[in-house]
């Protein structure tokens, strides 16, 4: 059984942008987020030793979540020009490294990641800074998440996810449906806080089962749940990562990555990445030696 690493491009690029000091190319274009993303990518290769790699990005178009709930993520400010200008350069790097890039208009990168992870036969490790993706963890899937900046990361399994979120991974959408998610700008069921939600889910495991057993729930909480039933259903759909996005997935192509390809070094020359060039050569040598050792 091999190991597939799926990188959440938007989440890691955003994190890198805020973690790295300003940096520009020789022509004066911002490049700090790309530098940080590549640095993280090299750490991922060394820490996780993947057989296959793929990266997913958001598209510019609004998703089905925006259509279902107009206020979805509406509080978020526009992406800074200094960051938005770097997405194309990030894609150029992964193309140069022969890492397949996946996205789908109408869906978030989370949904694309969820779909690839669902269909994969190998062990899957998702690299992200987005805790929403903790819901995808199961016996096959783990999360590798930066803890401080880009320098430290934690590998989450189901137990670690429950410790962080208060519920098992598969119940995270139910938790968010009840308590809301300020980062995505939906409020949850009015009057239901985290402690009440966790208590309900500990007993009933899901939104559906909670509403099936309304008569067993104490009157004050039951009244809030009844009033917020339609909201709970809607927010559960918003919170749930889709695992059947209509995309064609080529798993063998994900095995063809090469961190030290000639195209990467040519791109680094244009970016002015001298230090990263040395690191890539070192990591590329380590990868080649590791692959050779597995042949004997």
Residue spans per domain, the chain? 3-164+242-284, 166-239
Residue 117 CA, chain-centre distance (Å), reads 11
3-state SS, residue 158: helix
Lowest mean pLDDT among 83-92, 141-150, 201-210: 141-150
To the question of domain 3-164+242-284 being in CATH 3.40.50.1010, the answer is: yes
Mean pLDDT value of segment 266-281: 93
- Short-list 130, 133, 150, CA closest to 17: 150
Cβ-based neighbours of 172, under 8 Å, separated by 6 or more: 132, 134, 135, 161, 165, 239
Residue 149: the pLDDT is 63
Strands of 152-156's sheet in order across: 101-102, 52-56, 3-8, 123-127, 141-148, 152-156
**Is residue 267 scored above 80 in pLDDT?**
yes
Cα distances (Å, whole numbers) of residue 25 to 34, 94, 139, 267, 293: 11, 18, 43, 11, 38
Cβ-based neighbours of 42, under 8 Å, separated by 6 or more: 259, 276, 279, 280, 283
- Short-list 163, 223, 231, CA closest to 198: 163
Q: Give the separation between CA 294 and CA 296, rounded to whole angstroms.
A: 6
Burial of 71 (0-12, 13-18, 19+ CB in 10 A): exposed
Please report, in angstroms and rounded to a whole number, the separation of the first and last CA atoms in the chain. 18
Give the model's confidence band at 151: pLDDT under 50 very low, under 70 low, under 90 confident, else very high.
low
Burial of 264 (0-12, 13-18, 19+ CB in 10 A): buried
What does the mean pLDDT of the chain come to?
Answer: 93
Residue 147: the pLDDT is 79
**Is residue 28 scored above 60 in pLDDT?**
yes
Residue 291: the pLDDT is 75
To the question of domain 166-239 being in CATH 1.10.150.20, the answer is: yes
Residue pLDDT, tens place only, 62-86:
999 999 998 899 888 888 889 999 9
- Short-list 1, 36, 50, CA closest to 283: 50
**Is residue 296 scored above 60 in pLDDT?**
no
Q: Give the separation between CA 109 and CA 7, rounded to whole angstroms.
A: 10
Residue pLDDT, tens place only, 51-67:
999 999 999 899 999 99
Q: What is the pTM of this model?
A: 0.94
Give the model's confidence band at 290: pLDDT under 50 very low, under 70 low, under 90 confident, else very high.
confident
Phi/psi zone of residue 272: left (φ > 0), alpha (ψ -120 to 50 degrees), beta? left
Cα distances (Å, whole numbers) of residue 224 to 211, 217, 235: 12, 11, 15
Lowest mean pLDDT among 33-42, 76-85, 283-292: 283-292
Give the model's confidence band at 221: pLDDT under 50 very low, under 70 low, under 90 confident, else very high.
very high
């Amino acid at each position: 059984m091999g190991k597939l690493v799926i990188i959440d491009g938007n989440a890691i690029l955003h994190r890198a942008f805020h973690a790295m000091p300003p940096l520009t190319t020789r022509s004066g274009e911002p490049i700090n987020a790309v530098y940080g993303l590549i640095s993280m990518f090299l750490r991922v290769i060394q820490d996780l030793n993947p057989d296959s790699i793929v990266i997913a990005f958001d598209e510019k178009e609004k998703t089905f979540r925006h259509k279902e709930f107009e206020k979805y993520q509406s509080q978020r400010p526009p992406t800074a020009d200094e960051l938005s200008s770097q997405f194309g350069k990030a894609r150029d790097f992964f193309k140069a490294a022969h890492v397949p890039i996946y996205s789908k208009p109408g869906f978030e990168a989370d949904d694309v990641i969820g779909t690839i992870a669902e269909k994969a036969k190998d062990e899957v490790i998702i690299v992200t800074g987005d805790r929403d993706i903790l819901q995808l963890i199961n016996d096959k899937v783990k999360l590798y998440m930066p803890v401080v900046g880009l320098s430290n990361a934690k590998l989450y399994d189901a137990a670690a996810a429950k410790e962080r979120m208060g519920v098992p991974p598969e119940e995270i959408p139910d938790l968010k449906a009840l308590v809301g998610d300020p980062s995505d700008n939906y409020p949850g069921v009015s009057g239901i806080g985290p402690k009440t939600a966790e208590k309900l889910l500990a007993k009933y495991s899901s939104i559906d089962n909670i509403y099936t057993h309304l008569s067993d729930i104490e009157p004050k909480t039951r009244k809030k749940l009844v009033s917020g039933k339609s909201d709970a259903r809607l927010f559960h759909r918003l919170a749930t990562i889709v695992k059947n996005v209509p995309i064609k997935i080529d798993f063998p192509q994900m095995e063809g990555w090469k961190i030290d390809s000639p195209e990467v070094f040519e791109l680094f020359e244009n970016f002015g990445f001298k230090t990263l060039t040395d690191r890539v050569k070192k990591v590329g040598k380590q990868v080649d030696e590791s692959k050779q050792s597995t042949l004997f």
